[in-house]
Structure 1
Amino acid sequence: MKSGEGFSIEVQETSAAAKGKAPLIPAPLPPPRPEGWGKGIAILDLILRICAVVATLASTAAMGTSEETLPFFTQFFQFQASYDDLPTLQFFVIAMALVGGYLVLSIPFSIVTIIRPRAVGPRFLLLILDTVALTLATSAGAAAAAIVYLAHNGNLNTNWLAICQQFGDFCQKVSGSVVGSFIAVVLLMVLVVLSAMALRRI
C-alpha cells in the first residue's frame, strides 16, 4: 500500500436491505398464564357443587315426604294432602332428583379440573351439563312455586281454595322445598359463569 492512498472496506448488503425491506423480527411470545387463578376457580366450583348437591337433595326429600292428614275426621272420611296428588309436584321431585344425581356424578370431573386447571374437555363438559341442569331445576322450581302460591292464597276465579290454613305442615314442607330449589338454581347459575370464565382464561 502506497502512502497517501486511502483504503476502503467493502461491506456486502444483505438481501433484505438490498430489497429495501427491514428484517423480520419474531413477535414475543405471550407470558404463560398462572395456574393459580384457574385452580382457585376449580376449588370454588367444587365447593359450590357440593352445596348445590345438598340443596337439591334436601329439596327433593322435603317434597317427597310432604304429606298431611287432618286428624278430626273418621278413618273412613279424611282429608289428606300429599305431593303425589299433583302432577306438578311429582315432576318437581323427579326433576330435582335428576339434578341432584347429576351434581353428585359431576364431582369427580370438578376434581379433575383442580388437578389439571388447563384441561378444556372436563370444563367444557361441565359447562354444557350444568346449563341443562340449570334449565331443568328452574322449570321445576317455577312450576312448584306456582302451586305453592295457589295453596297459600287460592284463586277465586277458578274456585281454587287456599288450603294452607288447614294443611299447615304440608305447606311448610312444600314451601321449604321450593326455596331450596331456588338456592340450587342460583348455585347452578354461578357454576355456569365460573365454567365460562375458566374456559376463557385457558
Structure 2
Amino acid sequence: MADATTIDVAHAEETRREAKGKAPLLATPVVVAATTKAMEHEKGGYKRGIAIFDFVLRLGALAAALAATATMGTTDQTLPFFTQFFQFQASYDDMPAFQFFVIGMAIASGYLVLSLPFSIVRIVRPHAVAPRLLLIVLDTVMLALTTACASSAAAIVYLAHSGNQSANWLAICQQFTDFCQQTSGAVVASFIAVLIFLFLVVLSAIALRKH
C-alpha cells in the first residue's frame, strides 16, 4: 500500500508539472490572437480616418473645380465705348488657353463627382486595396490635367495684367477690369484644386504604405 501511495503521489506531481509546462503554451496563441485583433482594429480605425479626410478633401476639390469652371466659362466683358461698326469685347473663348482651362476643369469636376462613391467604399471597407489603387492612379492623372490647365491660364492672365513690351503685347486689364478679375479668380480656384489633388495623392500613398 505504501508503494502504491508513493506511485500515486509521484504520478500526481508529474501531472502537475506537465500541466504547468503546457499552460503557457495554450495561453500564448490566445494572447497573440487578441493582440493581432487589437492591432487590426487600430489599423482599421486609422485607415477609416484617412478615408473620411479623403472624402472631405474631394468635396473641397469639387467646389474649387466647379467654381473655376463656372467663373471662367461665364467670363465676358464688352467695353461701353464702341461705334456702330467696331466694339471692344473680351471673352474666354477668344483664347485657346482659356478654352482648354474650361474643358479640363470640367473634366476634373466630373471625375470628382464619380470618385465620391469609391471614397465612401473606402470609409465602409478601410482595408480594401482595389478602390485605393484606382483612386490614386486617377487622382495622379487629374493632378497633371489640372496643373496644366491652371498653368496655361495663369500665363495668359499674367500677360493680360502685365503685357510684354518685347512682343508689343499690351496689358488689357486697365480696360477689361471685370474680365481680368474673373479670370484671375478662376485661376486661383484652379490652383486650390491642384493642391487638394496633391494632398489626395499623398494620403492614398500613405494609406497604401501602412497596409
TM-score tier, shorter chain, comes to 0.7 to 0.9
- Quick one: distance in 1 between partners of 2:182 and 2:84? 24
Q: As a proportion of its length, which structure holds more helix?
A: 2
Aligned match of 2:175: 166
Distance in 1 between residues matched to 2:71 and 2:200, nearest whole Å: 24
Match of 1:52 in 2: 61
Q: Specify the SS of the correspondent of 2:166.
A: helix
Equivalence map 1:50-199=2 (5 Å) = 50-199=59-208
* Helix, strand or coil at the partner of 1:178: helix
Unpaired runs of 5+ residues, structure 2, are 1-28
Over the matched positions of the two proteins, sequence identity in percent amounts to 64
How much does 1:54 deviate? 0.4
Amino acid at match of 1:160: W
Which digits, 9 at most, give the CA deviation of each residue in 1:72-126, with x for residues without a partner?
Answer: 1124310000010000110000001001110110000000000000000000100
The C-alpha deviation readout for 1:24-82, integer Å capped at 9, x for no partner, is: xx9x7883332110000000000000000000011000000011000111243100000
TM-score by length of 2: 0.81
Name the residue aligned to 2:17.
none
Measured in 1, the distance between the counterparts of 2:171 and 2:206 equals: 45
**C-alpha deviation, 1:199, in angstroms:** 1.0
How far apart in 2 are the matches of 1:75 and 1:43? 58
Output the amino acid matched with 1:170: F
Distance 1:146 1:72 in 2: 28
Count of residue pairs the alignment pairs up: 176
AA of the residue aligned to 1:51 = G
RMSD, aligned α-carbons: 1.4
Q: Distance in 2 between matches of 1:170 and 1:137?
A: 21
2 CA distance for matches of 1:76 and 1:96? 36
Amino acid of the structure 2 residue aligned with 1:134: L
Moved over 4 A (4+): none
Q: Distance in 2 between matches of 1:149 and 1:75?
A: 32
| Equivalent residue letter for 1:152 | H
Distance (Å, rounded) in 1 between the aligned partners of 2:189 and 2:130? 30
Q: Take 2:59 and 2:142, find their aligned partners in 1: how far apart are those partners? A: 15
Gapped runs of 5+ residues in structure 1?
1-25
